[in-house]
């Protein structure tokens, strides 16, 4: 903010970085889930396995939690003015 960034830009920057991490974890989880499902289908009788709807629901829930986890501290951080605290970092 000391260099002219707006509060909205800071929030979006932190949300973008957190979303990238969450999306990367989701893709890795999807690949591992598909691999584990194929292995279990070969080992277990009548194992249906991977449900895309459940995985999509879990990813939506992860993104909601990620947004809350990021926005709460970012909101508190952007509400403070760097000059008011007497500290310029």
Residue 1 lies in a domain: no
The pLDDT-based confidence of 74 (bands split at 50, 70, 90) is confident
Residue 46 lies in a domain: yes
1 neighbors 10 (Cβ within 8 angstroms): yes
Angle at 10 between CA 58 and CA 20, to 5 degrees: 30
How does pLDDT run across 20-50, given as a tens digit for each residue?
Answer: 998 898 889 888 988 888 888 888 888 777 7
Residue 11 lies in a domain: yes
The pLDDT-based confidence of 58 (bands split at 50, 70, 90) is confident
Residue 35 lies in a domain: yes
Whether the model clears a pTM of 0.85, i.e. scores above it, the answer is no
Tell me the residue range of the domain where 58 lies.
Answer: 7-78
Residue 57 lies in a domain: yes
Residue 41 lies in a domain: yes
């Amino acid at each position: 903010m000391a260099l002219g960034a707006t509060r909205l830009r800071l929030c979006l920057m932190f949300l973008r970085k957190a979303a990238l991490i969450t999306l990367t974890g989701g893709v890795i989880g999807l690949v591992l889930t598909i691999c584990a499902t194929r292995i279990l289908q070969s080992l277990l009788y009548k194992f249906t396995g991977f449900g895309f709807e459940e995985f999509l629901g879990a990813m939506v829930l992860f993104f909601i939690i990620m947004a809350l986890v990021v926005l709460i501290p970012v909101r508190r951080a952007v509400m403070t003015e760097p000059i008011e605290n007497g500290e310029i970092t």
